[in-house]
Amino acid sequence: MFHKNFYVPGEEIPIIVLTPEQLNFLIYDNQFQGTLSPRLERTKDIFIFGCTVALRVSDLLNLNGSNLEISNDSYYLKVTSKKTQSLTRIKLPDYAIEILKKYHCKRHRKLLPVITNYNLNKNIKLLAQTAGWTDRFAKMRSRRGISESPGKQLKNQTTHRFCDLLTSHTMRRTAITTMLSLGMTEYMVRKISGHSANSKEFFRYVALAQSYIDKETEAFYQRLSETKFSQQNLVRNT
């Protein structure tokens, strides 16, 4: 599942994110992890961590021991953004703590494996390909909020595999939209992401998260309708 038709007024590039289901797969599917090389396993762990804490990639790859705080058996990240100088304090879930314990390197003082952004981007695409996320989509821009021929394949139009559209920026975008989709308030998400209250970029995440919620709600009511129909048939046949 992929949010491929998200458009906003003006000329905008669609936001590319993982769904909560895809993120859950990366976090908890041990069978998939068993198929990965050490290089891709490290990439997966960095990617999962980035999809959890919503940091900009420049801040994520520079995390060190001074960014980690332990209080009452809870782990927190404390980060001052290089871009905005805003301070973020994020409580970490158990799976993120396990990643830090796995990779904490005293020699480099880094919390995550040392890797360049170039190699991380390359590995993320390979990781997603290994996960089977290879469906093809048209990467279209919108003008004045309208997509040209949305949902249709244009003649001679270039398509891209979903895995090839993922980059290190996908981590932060996925974290923000996942938090919103699963019910965290906009105010709390902004506190974590560092967006201002009137950020146009943040409004795009809100709209994308709402589109996911709408789609899941429609699917729920469709399943409910099918259940009702099945029950009616059962009554008739008794």
What residue spans define the domains of the chain? Answer: 20-150+159-213
Inter-residue contact 70 to 77 (CB < 8 Å): no
User: pLDDT tens, 53-64?
Assistant: 989 999 999 999
User: pLDDT tens, 4-40?
Assistant: 444 444 445 678 889 999 999 999 999 999 999 999 9
State the greatest distance between any 2 C-alpha atoms of the chain, in Å, as a whole number.
Answer: 72
Cα–Cα distance measured from residue 169 to residue 124, given in angstroms and rounded to the nearest whole number: 11
pLDDT at 98 over 90: yes
Lowest mean per-residue pLDDT among 88-97, 108-117, 123-132, 209-218: 209-218
Best mean pLDDT range from 4-18, 21-35, 144-158, 191-205: 21-35
Mean pLDDT confidence for 215-234 = 68
Cα–Cα distance measured from residue 24 to residue 133, given in angstroms and rounded to the nearest whole number: 14
Give the chain's radius of gyration (CA, Å): 20
Reported as a pLDDT band with limits 50, 70 and 90, residue 186 is: confident
Q: Which CATH class is domain 20-150+159-213?
A: mainly alpha
Q: What are phi and psi of 116, to 5 degrees?
A: -80, 155
With left for phi above 0 and alpha for psi between -120 and 50, is residue 54 left, alpha or beta?
Answer: left
pLDDT at 184 over 90: no
Inter-residue contact 193 to 176 (CB < 8 Å): yes
Query: How large a percentage of the chain has pLDDT more than 70?
Result: 75
pLDDT at 44 over 80: yes
Q: What pLDDT is recorded for position 81? A: 74
Inter-residue contact 45 to 102 (CB < 8 Å): yes
Identify which of 124, 154, 105 has the alpha carbon closest to the alpha carbon of residue 42: 124
Q: What pLDDT is recorded for position 87? A: 80
